[in-house]
A and B are shown apart, each in its own frame.
Chain A
């Protein structure tokens, strides 16, 4: 407590006395009615002005709602096989028709969103998490730690990842968890590079020097100054990574290495389109899942673009 007294002691001279005698007050004009402009609030305002990104955000929010409410929204059980109703075109009973096993396409589409979104979010978050950890370590520690991490990143980025992902999924056995782990394992280097680069540039800022002058430890500077600064470019990267993860999941399912049947997934629904007759004569089997994949990835990419513009400190307002 003796320590705590010290600042207060000095304070007794001018406690609640308003301006201190002998000290020239700041004379700038100031409008108190202006709202406090936190960096995130400014970013949100800029983001809203980005129409495509805002539209993308609404699309994704609706998609998330659909995924959560799938059991309520789906007109039928997505996994009920009805051989008598195989490959029926759209009708009043089945709005988007039925697939080869007679299952309702619309219901499978609705349930399939769960797989795609789970994989997209989980894989991007794990990749961003791992990348941030290693990127901060490389950027803040520097030296040989930095050198080793960056060489590993180089190795990862120079591999043909799809081949290895296929191999790994084949070895580990296909499941949602496997897919998430494998995708995250190959996507973290992108996040790592960006985070390291940001950390390096923040480290050179004067406010870090000021923090060192007050006696802040390296760990504290990393937590309080570097990590928050890395967050904004990281959200952009994570968004784009989740779009990539959704595409990868669709590709894996298309190749038969995604989630196990009968669980519905968009990529898995496309698997049927490997046959020429279906491609030519039964568009209700592949256009809806193909379109929804494309739209989702596009929406997420728009969000990423909007975030990048909104969070760019060089842009005003």
Chain B
């Protein structure tokens, strides 16, 4: 769909041309205080997200990958201000939204929506599919009268590949994949420019996953959406992302284009993650070096000094415990990493 001309008074609702910056995240931090039960004394701080930077252009897909508990989901929700960021800025189309009041942020909710991981708990079991999808329209007073809204909901259902007659049914009558389509339809109801996809397929059967991925790709082409895909499935990220950021313990450790990350990873964590991706072709499995990481992710309440990955890194040096590696372009690799001793590994894939 090409951007149709719209009135300039609705500045924020015009679509930027493809490639124009849509979202910029600067130094985003989310810290949760840990308090004692009775006296509410602060015992410590969980640094779920500890300073991440991202940019996302219109129509682009960026993947945010990492293990469970590394802060991906928290980061996604903080960008939408569903969780209040502790520090940092989220800039959407040039305006800082981090300091906006709850009321002032409401119009922006039309532009940024989220698709949640669990299609079973993300739909209210007591509402019909039609009223679930119509809810965003009602909240924002869109879609005109009830007939207009009904038409819009029918279109949305068809847009996500569901028959519009199913609108009068309840969520529990649908399969996981169908429910996820409903969740996507709800997120699209306001015609947003940015979708945060929080592990949209990890709760689905493998056979359904491909359908939903294809749906998301089709919608992106149709509606020129920008996606922030939060995932731990590297194969999916490789399939649909233009750029990838790898997160570990609240920080981005490596970021670059898809090819840079997948073909020439430089951070040992990225290399370890990629080595764990199963290879579909059995004849190629022999060449593969698996890097097995030892130990668990350290507690985000008390992260290691210096480089956070050093406790599990096979290359760790004494400097790693004293010096915090910034996310920077270190010489010849051409993309950003946060390792003092980056090493390019060529991967055939």
* A210 lies within 8 A of B186 (CB): yes
A93: interface (CB < 8 Å) = no
Q: Nearest CB to that of A211 among chain B residues?
A: B135
Q: Which of B105-143 contact A (CB under 8 A)?
A: 105-106, 109-110, 113-114, 116-118, 121-128, 135-137, 139-143
Q: A205-B121, A214-B186 are in contact. Are A7 and B139 (CB under 8 A)?
A: no
Q: Which of B121, B128, B142, B155 contacts A14 (CB 8 A)?
A: B155
Stretch at the interface among A21-29, A106-114, A165-173: A21-29
Looking at the assembled complex, report how far the CB atom of B144 sits from the nearest CB atom of chain A, in whole angstroms: 5
B202: interface (CB < 8 Å) = no
Q: Which of A7, A26, A206 contacts B178 (CB 8 A)?
A: A26
Looking at the assembled complex, report how far the CB atom of B212 sits from the nearest CB atom of chain A, in whole angstroms: 9
Contacts of B10 in A (CB 8 A): 2
Q: CA A224 – CA B121 in complex, angstroms?
A: 16
Contact mask for chain A residues 203-215; partner B; CB cutoff 8 A; 1 contact, 0 none: 0011101111111
Q: A11-B151, A24-B211 are in contact. Are A216 and B135 (CB under 8 A)?
A: yes
* A20 lies within 8 A of B159 (CB): yes
Q: CA A131 – CA B135 in complex, angstroms?
A: 28
Q: CA A190 – CA B106 in complex, angstroms?
A: 37
Q: A2-B10, A36-B170, A207-B124 are in contact. Are A23 and B141 (CB under 8 A)?
A: no
Looking at the assembled complex, report how far the CB atom of B143 sits from the nearest CB atom of chain A, in whole angstroms: 6
Contacts of B33 in A (CB 8 A): none
Contacts of B6 in A (CB 8 A): 6
Q: A19-B161, A23-B222, A39-B125 are in contact. Are A214 and B136 (CB under 8 A)?
A: yes
Q: Nearest CB to that of B211 among chain A residues?
A: A24
A141: interface (CB < 8 Å) = no
Q: Nearest CB to that of B102 among chain A residues?
A: A217
Q: A2-B7, A23-B222, A213-B114 are in contact. Are A207 and B122 (CB under 8 A)?
A: yes
B313: interface (CB < 8 Å) = no
Looking at the assembled complex, report how far the CB atom of A178 sits from the nearest CB atom of chain B, in whole angstroms: 38
Q: A37-B170, A210-B186, A216-B135 are in contact. Are A14 and B211 (CB under 8 A)?
A: no
* B4 lies within 8 A of A9 (CB): yes
Q: Nearest CB to that of A4 among chain B residues?
A: B144
Q: Which of A3, A27, A225 contacts B142 (CB 8 A)?
A: A3
A8: interface (CB < 8 Å) = yes
Number of interface residues of A (CB under 8 A): 48
Contact mask for chain B residues 200-223; partner A; CB cutoff 8 A; 1 contact, 0 none: 000000000001001100110111
A160: interface (CB < 8 Å) = no
List 14 additional A-B contacts (Cβ < 8 Å) besides A214-B136, A215-B105, A215-B106: A6-B6, A7-B137, A13-B222, A28-B177, A37-B172, A38-B128, A38-B170, A209-B82, A209-B122, A210-B116, A211-B135, A213-B80, A214-B189, A216-B139
Binding site for A on B (CB under 8 A): 1, 4, 6-7, 10, 13, 77, 80, 82, 105-106, 109-110, 113-114, 116-118, 121-128, 135-137, 139-144, 148, 151-152, 155, 158-163, 165-166, 168-170, 172-173, 175, 177-178, 181, 183, 186, 189-191, 211, 214-215, 218-219, 221-223
**10 closest residue pairs by CB, A with B:** A215-B109, A206-B122, A25-B161, A214-B136, A206-B121, A23-B218, A215-B106, A207-B124, A22-B218, A4-B144
Chosen A-B contacts, 29 in total, with CB atoms closer than 8 Å, are A1-B144, A2-B10, A6-B191, A7-B142, A7-B143, A8-B151, A8-B152, A10-B1, A10-B191, A10-B223, A23-B159, A25-B162, A26-B162, A26-B177, A26-B178, A28-B175, A28-B177, A36-B169, A37-B172, A206-B118, A207-B121, A209-B77, A209-B82, A214-B109, A214-B135, A215-B106, A224-B124, A224-B127, A313-B125
